[in-house]
Amino acid sequence: MTLDVRQRTDSASIEAQWFLAMAWPSIALPRVMDATHFGPTDWFGAWRTCVLACVGLCALFGALSTYMHAFAWAAGTDATSPQFARYWLSLLVGELACVGVGTVGWWAWLVRSGRSIPASVTHSEEVYRIAVFWGLVGATSVVLYFMASFFVNADGAWHQTTVRDTAFTPPHIVMFYGAFPLGITMSVGTALYGITRLTKIYPASSGFPWSFFLLIGASVTEMMQVALNEWGHSVTITEEIFSAPFHWPFVIYAWLGVAIFALWIETLVRLLSIEKGLADLGTEG
């Protein structure tokens, strides 16, 4: 498969006109740049989203994991006990409420604010948005790690030492009802950002991007697989074998998630196109 990473035009004058048109000023970036004094590719400029989101998510999941280590054995082995309700069911409700409210709020803000953003932007602003987009993709990658590796190991270790008496075991509450919903939050939110802010890459006329569809499909099917997992355990009680066949559909997430590379490649193609255009013109946007 060959990727045309340099979008060529036959006429240099057409390209120059196109770049001048692209340089139409907008409001958003100058406001941001004036306020921060950082360029679109400075660590404290657009990359701030990446750093804050990734570090913040690692801190969140680290805190949840520390809580799990501290209270799983002390209050999480008997689902009928008052301690279980106090320490674990309250966490379950809190997670679902926070993730639900946060998700709806973030998605609504992305859609509403996206409608008021000018379609024509400077190259500097477009690069800024691509860097923010990479930050969201990176944060999605971080969430997918905690979904599919970090807490999966905790869950496997837990089931090898305790036999479940509920579908809401401590690792399940952290993983299935904390990390998994956040995977949907991040993948859909990243798609909304791309569709509303990166209209040169994801124009409405091209339809809904396959890359987003597959990545969202990965996180959604992972959440849906929880239902099959719990039903399977209730039927066969295969506590002992981790590689049991009804666990296999969990791998669909990882395989569909490979579409995350399509997001990086699509935006990189556009970045290279901007760079080439600027180099040809000998100027910056």
Partner 1 sequence: MYLDRKWDIVFWITAAFFVGAAADITRLLFAGDWDFWVDWKDRQWWPILTPFATIIIPSAIQYILWAVWRLPIGASYTAACLFLASWVGRVYQWQDFVNYPLTLIWPATVVPGAILMDFILLRTRSFVLTSIVGAMVWTLAFWVANYIPLAAYLQPVQFMGHVLTVADVAGIEYLRTQTPEYLRQVENGTLRSFLDQTQYVSLVFGSTVAVGGYWIGQALARFIALWPVGRGIKRL
Task: State phi, psi for 239 to the nearest 5 degrees.
Answer: -75, -25
Candidate list 107, 264, 273, 281; residue touching partner 1; CB under 8 A:
264
Task: State phi, psi for 136 to the nearest 5 degrees.
Answer: -70, -40
CB atoms within 10 A of CB 18: 13
d(CA 270, CA 8): 12
Residue with tokens 């950002």: 193
Of 177 and 211, CB closest to partner 1: 211
In the complex, least distance from residue 120 CB atom to partner 1, rounded to whole angstroms = 18
Based on the shown chain and the rule CB under 8 A, indicate whether residue 194 belongs to the binding site for partner 1. Answer: no
The site string for partner 1 over 226-255 (x = CB under 8 A, - otherwise) reads -------------xxxxx---xx-xx-xxx
In the complex, least distance from residue 82 CB atom to partner 1, rounded to whole angstroms = 24
Based on the shown chain and the rule CB under 8 A, indicate whether residue 178 belongs to the binding site for partner 1. Answer: no
Candidates 18-26, 101-109, 144-152, 228-236 — which segment interacts with partner 1 by CB under 8 A? 144-152
Burial class, 227, CB count within 10 angstroms (exposed 0-12 / middle 13-18 / buried 19+) = exposed
The site string for partner 1 over 88-127 (x = CB under 8 A, - otherwise) reads -----------------------------------xx--x
Of 62 and 100, CB closest to partner 1: 62
In the complex, least distance from residue 80 CB atom to partner 1, rounded to whole angstroms = 21
Contacts of 113 (CB under 8 A, 6+ apart): 196
Of 71 and 100, CB closest to partner 1: 71
Per-residue tokens: 270: 């556009």
Residues in the chain: 285
Candidate list 159, 176, 184, 188; residue touching partner 1; CB under 8 A:
159
Q: Which positions from 33 through 62 interact with partner 1, judged by CB under 8 A?
A: 40-41, 43, 47, 50, 54
Q: CA torsion angle for 35, 37, 40, 46 (degrees, to 10)?
A: -60
Handedness of CA 32, 38, 43, 44 (dihedral sign): negative
In the complex, least distance from residue 50 CB atom to partner 1, rounded to whole angstroms = 6
> Which whole-number Å values give the CA distances from 24 to 42, 122, 123, in the listed order?
23, 6, 9
In the complex, least distance from residue 133 CB atom to partner 1, rounded to whole angstroms = 11
Based on the shown chain and the rule CB under 8 A, indicate whether residue 172 belongs to the binding site for partner 1. Answer: no
In the complex, least distance from residue 84 CB atom to partner 1, rounded to whole angstroms = 18
d(CA 64, CA 151): 10
